[in-house]
Structure 1
């Protein structure tokens, strides 16, 4: 088939590019080389607008991972999107999405970074509304409007950075003290919070699940949601020792706790995985707030591998059970889909931080270093609860979809037959198993010193075991669990609905803000602004021009009439005087 040959070409090209980027990254890391390419576009008031590209081990490594996961997703899409009448459009949109992310990765300049930043927002909107229905349209509008807040914050940051004489934040971020640039730091953090869906902008991330599953695998692993984390990684020298770090720490800890709590009450397969992404983004942001920049980048790369695998497994399962997404309509898939079940269990265990899988090397190290740091008690408690909840919802998902009761009624043809979908899953499974140790050897060649008491050392592992028992055993006793949830219905709704954030982000705030905006527009923009502004001045000068035109017609009659009127007026004035 032509789409398989097309995907083979894309797979070979993107895989070759990703391996080249990773090799270049290792070379830059070994030799401590940073290459910066820039050219002057224009100069304004001694500030030059410069197009800048940076090539160091961070940009090469991240770009290599993005290209590798994109190649797997595109190849996987050949079977998942088979028969879709808009298949070509889907392919071009995904490639545009990857291009925008690449532009963002290699841009150290606030002006040039807008190319990738706005490109991600625009293409993500087009992908979320790919299935043209009301739900997708609403989700797309929520996504793009939430991200526009971050775009405005970036534009305001550009204006505030004008005083530095340039917009290259890689060069200037070390010189930004709190006294003069605190507002700018908060704006950059605000932009990162919108892209990475931190509280109060978390509602758009589960809503974006209206996009096709291959898009979700790409968006939630290495592209759109990680753009905010990557921006803060590049901007980290300006945040060190700043009071903005405390705000970021509290917000990120609340986000990962809220996402873990919500995932334990969710039944949509894709939304559970989306909330797990939100929880891991909170871990990365909290690591950045604690000053652990290398660990945040390490977890960003390790998380990309197993989260893309988790979404691919979810897509295969949804395809196999005839497009159901409710995990209560699945069950006992280990018998009919052993390969997919194995890959999904690998991804789930890596997410939970199972020893010697990819997530363990990054997540466990972040937890231990965070326990060593001087964090406040609230953040520490939220860290502990979020760690336990992550394992809890992962094992709950395993029970309902893979090992529980068979709930597929009379459906058949549930199998692992498509190699086009299972091939990329097997490849990413190798990354989920071995990616963490390889990355730790490359990024941290020296030993990372961790000094903890025995209690703190076993705390993360103990919480994982406790969360696994609670998540699995509570759902085995599902009847009593469901009855208890009905007794405490209001509390369950609050915890399961992301603390009413989707409701606040769409219905009430949307209605009131749109109504207020309509009043302001009719009174201001279409009212007094038109009367006293540009349109009013236009009408005034137009009327005055009519009188000028009369005097410029060179008509003798008009001059004579004017002369007679002047004579009469002067005569009356003489008589009066």
Structure 2
């Protein structure tokens, strides 16, 4: 029995147990906090705390189930890899770090899981060892380090309360200045982990990892860690923080939706759609509906994991080609994978009665009922249209359009492991939205909107489909070869030049100054007054004094003459 099947089976069993317990805790309105005292440090106790409530158990069951399906899927996808066991163990470590983060109401143990995610994600991003992977891994690791430092600072400030278990202080210390500072640092940490502006550039770069890892990272582990932490901290945010964060999250949603329409890399398009959904979760969270954000987190995890699995199956069959312009008419060669792919795309767009619809439509309608300005409304509805736009464009390019790949190919679905792994998720993608809405909201939300706003979402979806279709069959004519259009498309497609700012923007000037320092100092003045020249001068002087110390008669007479001349000149 292979290692993939063993770990997949174990994680599946734990997922089922966790789901059963979450149902029981939800019905009984029950929470368990387990504390184990590790060290007493002056008046601060270092306590290992475990929080088990319906939210942590339900999220754990989803993470475990998705990871079990991903590991099962990896058996065929990573077949032939020399270091298969190492890869599976890295994925299991990744999942365990996420588990530690989910069950911790204590900032110290959260940091352990948080840092575990960052470290293992670096190892997984550089798994295929080449320059591009190393650059992507370094960008991912260093972007996440900012959040880790923010959490460390929050831990230092929490010493003022005598304990790191933040869950006890959130309610009655809302107005405390120190708690406001801690919540600001936690927001910063969540922004780096969930790749909000200006830390967005690492998310598409992390696509250098193998596709099963991308499936796990983008559905339920790394990027959702920030959202989950914000859900736990949502009680303590004040109004000014919420408004600032709402603007950032809405802009992230808009920026990623716009960027995906200019992208041709299959995995990067799906990565940018994750970024868009993260912006949606964060924005509804700061509007006060943290349960809705959690609901969308769960439904999104399912269809995004399956979307990446389908993309992996297509890439695997197309000899590792990721450019959607080479794909087309795949529905004939890979009917099951394409069906799954379409269902996930429809769920992402919010097609009625698929899982994405229940959470996404509810989020938009709750947002429409809030008293907000026109900018946020516009960003929300335009972002919904853009989501449908790039999804429809992707479907047209890959499934319907003309087949542009080489004639000698190995397209097909003969082997079954990848399909079995994907089939485990497809039923949940279709049915989980309604099931979770009945579970999480025992009394349904009351939506009261005018007719125009009620149909606004549907109108934006139809409009987005039309624009996506036009973009897909659109050939660049002479007018669109202008420098202005190319500059604009480059700016929008490059996520508002954020990858450039995160890489060259950070390291260009230090390198430039380093070059000046090298030329002017290291190879200039310091070379003259530094080690080499002083060495030569000292050697010269020592040789001179050595000559003087030999005691030759002519040197004695010469020195006498010099001494006499000196006396005559001076006196």
Per the normalisation by structure 1, the TM-score is 0.87
In the alignment, structure 1 residue 21 sits paired with structure 2 residue 2:
no
Partner of 2:164: 167
Partner of 2:218: 220
In the alignment, structure 1 residue 410 sits paired with structure 2 residue 399:
no
In the alignment, structure 1 residue 382 sits paired with structure 2 residue 379:
yes
Instruction: Return 5+ residue gaps in structure 1 as ranges.
Output: 521-577
In the alignment, structure 1 residue 62 sits paired with structure 2 residue 65:
no
In the alignment, structure 1 residue 510 sits paired with structure 2 residue 528:
no
Q: CA deviation at 1:472?
A: 1.1
Q: CA deviation at 1:68?
A: 0.1
8 Å contact kept, 1:214–1:315:
yes
Q: Distance in 2 between matches of 1:309 and 1:496?
A: 25
For residue 440 of structure 2, the aligned residue among 439, 443, 461 is: 443
Q: Distance in 2 between matches of 1:328 and 1:356?
A: 31
In the alignment, structure 1 residue 458 sits paired with structure 2 residue 469:
no
* Secondary structure of residue in 2 paired with 1:41: strand
Alignment of 1:339-418 (within 5 A): 339-418=336-415
Q: Distance in 2 between matches of 1:244 and 1:203?
A: 23
Q: CA deviation at 1:375?
A: 2.1
Q: CA deviation at 1:518?
A: 11
In the alignment, structure 1 residue 283 sits paired with structure 2 residue 284:
no
Per the normalisation by structure 2, the TM-score is 0.88
* Secondary structure of residue in 2 paired with 1:112: helix
Distance 1:463 1:160, change over 3 A: same
Partner of 1:526: none
Q: Which string of whole-angstrom CA distances, capped at 9 and with x for unpartnered residues, describes residues 197-229 of structure 1? A: 000000000000000000000000000000000
Q: Which string of whole-angstrom CA distances, capped at 9 and with x for unpartnered residues, describes residues 306-328 of structure 1? A: 00000000000001111100000
* Secondary structure of residue in 2 paired with 1:91: helix
Q: CA deviation at 1:236?
A: 1.0
Instruction: Return 5+ residue gaps in structure 2 as ranges.
Output: 518-571
8 Å contact kept, 2:234–2:286:
no
Alignment of 1:181-196 (within 5 A): 181-196=179-194
Q: Distance in 2 between matches of 1:421 and 1:312?
A: 8
Partner of 2:253: 256
Tell me which moved more, 406-415 or 383-392.
406-415
* Secondary structure of residue in 2 paired with 1:49: strand
Q: CA deviation at 1:477?
A: 3.0
8 Å contact kept, 1:321–1:411:
no
Q: Distance in 2 between matches of 1:514 and 1:448?
A: 55
Q: CA deviation at 1:384?
A: 1.1
Partner of 1:309: 306
Q: Which string of whole-angstrom CA distances, capped at 9 and with x for unpartnered residues, describes residues 360-396 of structure 1? A: 0001000000010122222111111111000000000
For residue 4 of structure 2, the aligned residue among 3, 7, 10 is: 7
Q: Which string of whole-angstrom CA distances, capped at 9 and with x for unpartnered residues, describes residues 275-311 of structure 1? A: 0000000000001110110000000000000000000
Distance 1:517 1:93, change over 3 A: farther
8 Å contact kept, 1:146–1:204:
yes
Q: Distance in 1 between matches of 2:477 and 2:376?
A: 32
8 Å contact kept, 1:178–1:242:
no
Partner of 1:322: 319
Q: Distance in 1 between matches of 2:299 and 2:19?
A: 14
Q: CA deviation at 1:6?
A: 2.5
* Secondary structure of residue in 1 paired with 2:107: coil
For residue 299 of structure 1, the aligned residue among 296, 300, 325 is: 296
Partner of 1:232: 230
For residue 151 of structure 1, the aligned residue among 148, 153, 159 is: 148
Q: Distance in 2 between matches of 1:225 and 1:324?
A: 25
Tell me which moved more, 172-181 or 198-207.
172-181
Count the aligned residue pairs: 516
Q: Which string of whole-angstrom CA distances, capped at 9 and with x for unpartnered residues, describes residues 39-94 of structure 1? A: 12222231211110100001100000000000000000000000011111101100
8 Å contact kept, 2:4–2:88:
no
Q: Distance in 2 between matches of 1:93 and 1:489?
A: 41
Q: Distance in 2 between matches of 1:482 and 1:107?
A: 57
Q: Which string of whole-angstrom CA distances, capped at 9 and with x for unpartnered residues, describes residues 464-512 of structure 1? A: 1110111013322334499367661111111010000000000131232
Q: CA deviation at 1:13?
A: 1.2
8 Å contact kept, 2:250–2:283:
yes
Q: Distance in 1 between matches of 2:21 and 2:483?
A: 56
* Secondary structure of residue in 2 paired with 1:33: coil
Alignment of 1:191-202 (within 5 A): 191-202=189-200
Distance 1:326 1:104, change over 3 A: same
In the alignment, structure 1 residue 107 sits paired with structure 2 residue 67:
no
Q: Distance in 2 between matches of 1:38 and 1:112?
A: 12
Q: Distance in 2 between matches of 1:17 and 1:514?
A: 50
8 Å contact kept, 1:35–1:54:
yes
Q: Which string of whole-angstrom CA distances, capped at 9 and with x for unpartnered residues, describes residues 136-184 of structure 1? A: 0000000000000000000000111111121111111122326443222
8 Å contact kept, 2:122–2:140:
yes
* Secondary structure of residue in 1 paired with 2:220: coil
Distance 1:115 1:179, change over 3 A: closer
* Secondary structure of residue in 1 paired with 2:197: coil
Partner of 1:81: 78
8 Å contact kept, 1:358–1:437:
yes
8 Å contact kept, 2:385–2:464:
yes
